[in-house]
Amino acid sequence: MPSASSVIPKETFRFFRDLGKNNKKIWMDANRERYQASVVQPLRRLLEQLAPAVLRLNDRFDVTGRTGVNFSRINRDIRFARDKTPYKTQMYLKFETPAPGSRETGQLYAGFSADAVTAGFRIYSGEKRRDSTIALVAEPKVLASPRWLSQQKKRLARKYESYWYTTEKGEWTKHDGWPTDPETWKKIQAWIVRKKMKPSVASQVAFPKALEKTFRELYPLLEFTSLPG
């Protein structure tokens, strides 16, 4: 069992492993209390611990604890998916600032799955790229300050992996590395900068502080790509 001061228990990862083997509504219905105790409550405690540090980065971050805003949904949208399993076998805790309308914006996040913990920054274009934060905020800034991406690569590449997506022949295509060519940003659909860790890291007492450091280091990426000005 984790120590009294740690936030994320080993049971969080055990739950996701079991869900992956029993991804059916009847199993989830029988394990709702376990889901609340091993996933929902620990991530809410982690949110409470991180909120002060996140608000120091930007007091406009939403820390209200709402599903969809700070927490990803466990239910999958299977209407148009080939995979018809009803539940996701991971959960994300995320922080973002408000954007006009329903526009997606950059996020600082921590993700938990059966066999890994990830932490970093991500930004997606959403359904309509031309109306996205990437197109309206990030792309003009990159074109105006082309050296900025190279500077971030120099600052962060030793600690974090970077990858990005474009659409090729109607399919999302992943590109490893840093999107330092400004021309890339005329077609980029998403950019992720993150570190990947073993589940045992999350059960350490120092884990929330480590996340705070990650968020401090990556916040400039969110600020540059997502916030006007």
- Cα–Cα distance measured from residue 14 to residue 32, given in angstroms and rounded to the nearest whole number: 14
Residue 179 lies in a domain: yes
Structure confidence by residue, pLDDT tens digits, 148-188: 999 999 999 999 999 999 998 888 999 999 999 999 999 99
Average pLDDT over residues 51-65: 97
Across all residues in the chain, what is the average pLDDT?
A: 93
Q: What is the domain extent for residue 14?
A: 10-226
- Cα–Cα distance measured from residue 196 to residue 117, given in angstroms and rounded to the nearest whole number: 6
Residue 195 lies in a domain: yes
pLDDT at 101: 77
Residue 178 lies in a domain: yes
Structure confidence by residue, pLDDT tens digits, 74-108: 998 876 667 789 999 999 999 999 888 778 899 99
For the chain, how many structural domains are there in total? 1
Phi-psi domain of 32 (left: phi exceeds 0; alpha: psi -120 through 50; beta: other): alpha
Residue with tokens 């600052």: 155
- Cα–Cα distance measured from residue 55 to residue 219, given in angstroms and rounded to the nearest whole number: 11
Residue 2 lies in a domain: no
Handedness of CA 41, 45, 48, 54 (dihedral sign): negative
Residue 144 lies in a domain: yes
Would you say residue 10 has pLDDT above 80?
Answer: yes
Would you say residue 3 has pLDDT above 70?
Answer: no
Structure confidence by residue, pLDDT tens digits, 113-143: 999 999 999 999 988 899 999 999 999 999 9
* CB 109 within 8 Å of CB 95: yes
pLDDT at 100: 80
Residue 93 lies in a domain: yes
The model carries a pTM of 0.93
Whichever domain contains 52, its CATH number is 3.30.930
